[in-house]
Amino acid sequence: MVRKAIESLLAEKIGLDPNSMGTGNIARAIGKRMAACGDSDEVAYWQRLQVSPAELAELIESVVVPETWFLRDREPFVFLKNYLVSQWLPHPPREQLRVLSIPAATGEEPYSIAITLTEAGLSAKQFTLDAVDISQNALIKAKRGVYGKNSFRGTEAEFLQRYFQPVTGGETSKHLPEYAVISQVRAAVNFIPGNLLDKFFMLNKINYYDIIFCRNLLIYFHRHAKEEAMAVINRLLVSGGLLFVGHSESALPLAAGFELVRHPRAFAYRKPQQPREAAIVPNGKLTAKPFPPNLPLLTGRPPAIALPSAPPAKKPEPSRDSQPPNAKEELSPLELAKDLADKGQLQEAASLCETYIQQNITSTEAYLLLGQVQQGLGNPEAAEKSFQRALYLQPDCLVALVHLALLKENRGDTAGAAIIRARIQRRQIN
């Protein structure tokens, strides 16, 4: 009972969905804090949490996951650089590009952004970069800017040589090599403590940031917190501004009406332009020009992956050219996923299917599509599981049976494939 009350408190304060990190992990964090406070039972600890904001902050420190590394996922940074070189710099709408990284965790993401902006050719005067996180511990490490090799997963030696200096005799470098980010890069980032879900969070900033990185935070949020977070991001971002999310979070901006930018695995979205919208900035004046609109965007299009089990369309789909500009908004999440799959954006399509399935666990169609996308991604095991689930929901589903038979054959399970083929034959005779 008390455990649930503490989980609810965390859900309310920081949006944490206990299932996202496992209730066992939360229980361990509570146990650790109880021991630190000398509380022998959960009721005493719960009472402490009611009166001590400092202890609540400590508990939050124990449950957050500050996992991050430089140039994480890489493609967001490739796209960001291309975008700046090809669109922002030739026609800067104003003097300074404004960027927000939330959550910044221990700093690897905002420093990666700062480096990308510099490599694109922006001088320090041409951008501001705010980096926010709820964890004070993470921010202390971020400001220090000293990292071990775990933070450099997948980065090239040149990146390390150019932007870091080896630390000799640093406080935690007794055995392992550590590297300090160079001062020009460190000076480019303003680290700020903050909670995205706090009702006063950056209240004075409306249509303010041109670019927001909000990656690998929304996955930890419960449904209502996800919606609240998207509303805050929508307020903070200028019309036409770019939002980067994590690969498992790509369904959320689409659901909020953002438009997918066509760059595979960048997971970048553009806030739609609003007609001549007045943008209020903190000094109360109206902003000048809107953000450049001409990013390559996802547009509505009929699904190309044909799913025989899906109900037939009532009327023929219009061609891409004849569709009205807002046709995309009329597509269901599954149609969007098919559209993405058709364009080769398989990872995004898979994420969208997975999110859809979380809310529609009996959708045979979603499992079929996910199975096909997983095959495209070269994950036959995951594909087989998806087709099995489709078959469980619809035992006579021919598409699932055919895919399963082929997948089993391919991995050498001839007996399993024969059983499925017999089912196909029986289905055809009946």
Ligand X SMILES: C[S@@+](CC[C@H](N)C(=O)[O-])C[C@H]1O[C@@H](n2cnc3c(N)ncnc32)[C@H](O)[C@@H]1O
In angstroms, give the least distance from the CB of 52 to ligand X.
19
Per rule CB under 6 A, count of chain residues that contact ligand X: 23
Q: Report the Cα 213 to chain-centroid distance in Å.
A: 9
Considering only the stretches 63-71, 303-311, 351-359, 381-389, report the one whose residues sit in contact with ligand X under the rule CB under 6 A: 63-71
Query: What does the per-residue mask of binding to ligand X show for 164-203, with x meaning CB under 6 A?
Result: -------------------------------xxx------
Element (H, E) at 372: helix 364-376
232 binds ligand X (CB under 6 A): no
Compute φ and ψ for 63, nearest 5 degrees: -100, -20
Where do we find the tokens 């009611």?
50
Helix axis angle for 346-359 and 364-376, nearest 10°, is 160
- Residue nearer to ligand X on the CB measure, 111 or 164: 111
3-state SS string for 311-348: CCCCCCCCCCCCCCCCHHHHCCHHHHHHHHHHCCCHHH
- Contact with ligand X (CB under 6 A): which of 215, 247, 271, 328? 215
Q: What SS3 state is found at 125?
A: helix
- Residue nearer to ligand X on the CB measure, 245 or 256: 245
- Contact with ligand X (CB under 6 A): which of 116, 151, 207, 216? 216
Q: What SS3 state is found at 258?
A: coil
Q: Taking the C-alpha atoms of 146, 147, 152 and 153 in order, what is their torsion angle to the nearest 10 degrees? A: -160
Q: Which of residues 104-163 bind ligand X (CB under 6 A)?
A: 105, 109, 133-135, 138
65 binds ligand X (CB under 6 A): yes
In angstroms, give the least distance from the CB of 378 to ligand X.
24
Q: Give the E-state strand segments of 333-429 in sequence order.
A: none
Q: Which of residues 77-106 bind ligand X (CB under 6 A)?
A: 102-103, 105
Single-letter amino acid, residue 73: D
Query: What does the per-residue mask of binding to ligand X show for 8-47, with x meaning CB under 6 A?
Result: ------xx--------------------------------
In angstroms, give the least distance from the CB of 227 to ligand X.
14
In angstroms, give the least distance from the CB of 327 to ligand X.
32
In angstroms, give the least distance from the CB of 194 to ligand X.
6
d(CA 278, CA 184): 35
Residues 6+ apart with CB under 8 A from 130: 98, 99, 100, 101, 190, 192, 209
Binding site for ligand X (CB under 6 A): 14-15, 64-68, 72, 102-103, 105, 109, 133-135, 138, 195-197, 215-217, 246
